[in-house]
Homo-oligomer: A and B are copies of this chain.
Amino acid sequence: VPQQARRSARRTDALSRERIVDAAVAVLDAAGEGGLTFRALSEHLATGPGAIYWHVANKGELLGAATDAVVAAALATEPDAPDSSPQERIRAVALALFDAIDAHPWVGAQLSASSWQVTTTPRLLESTGRQVRAMGVPRAEWFTVTSVLVQYVLGAAAQNAANAQVLGPDADRDTYLDGVARAWEGLDPEDYSFTRVLGDQMRGHDDREQFLAGVDLVLAGITALHPPRTGGSAP
């Protein structure tokens, strides 16, 4: 039997890079970064550890591909109302990434620490940068402004995911925050005059709200440094 004729008759459950990456995401979600093991993964795929290496070069590449899959899915979600402003679209992109990293905390560490997959960076730059362009930022500043936005979004989301991680799914958030607040309030009054006062503000804060406030802050900075050119002065 010639190879060509058998092409379409492949076993549907055959291994493939895509199936491996999907399984890796599932394992990472269930067991965290430490839980992704070639043995655990191969068991998940009903094969041997060595089989994976036919489709993926090493663990680093696998982590990168898994990260790219999550980012791509997050950026594909946007419905994007046709009459929305660039600022609203940037908030939507940022929130989509924030929620994706919150749902897959290992992505945060991956995105902010290692250098990304070749495909991930353009994805992030494109969906953010289009709105930067629409905001009227001068062309010479596109790279700088877009990078700052992406860096803030990824950095803040990664930190949030790490904090959520240490808390655990069932622990009581209020009790935890209260403990941190008390620790801050007990710091040395001389060395930590500022942080001591922060405890109470941190106690009831909402991570998502805080993240969006940060996005708005950066957006305000963009507008302040690169005001949109309208024909005259504002009313």
Contact = CB atoms under 8 A, between A and B. Distances in A.
B220 A122 contact: no
Interface stretch (A35-43, A50-58, A78-86, A143-151): A143-151
A222 interface: yes
Interface in A179-201: 183-184, 187, 191-195, 197-198, 201
Identical copies in the complex: 2
B198 A125 contact: yes
B140 A213 contact: no
Nearest to A221: B221
Contact of A197 (B108, B142, B224): B142
A95 interface: no
Contacts of A142: 194, 197-198, 201
Interface of A: 108-109, 112-115, 118, 122, 125-126, 129-130, 133, 139-140, 142-148, 151-152, 154-156, 158-159, 162-163, 165-166, 183-184, 187, 191-195, 197-198, 201-202, 205, 210, 213-214, 216-225
B143 A201 contact: yes
Contact of A166 (B115, B151, B162, B213): B115
A202 B144 CA distance: 9
Contacts of A112: 108-109, 112-113, 155, 158-159, 162
A214 B130 contact: no
A59 B115 CA distance: 24
A166 B193 CA distance: 40
A129 B159 contact: no
A187 to B, nearest CB: 6
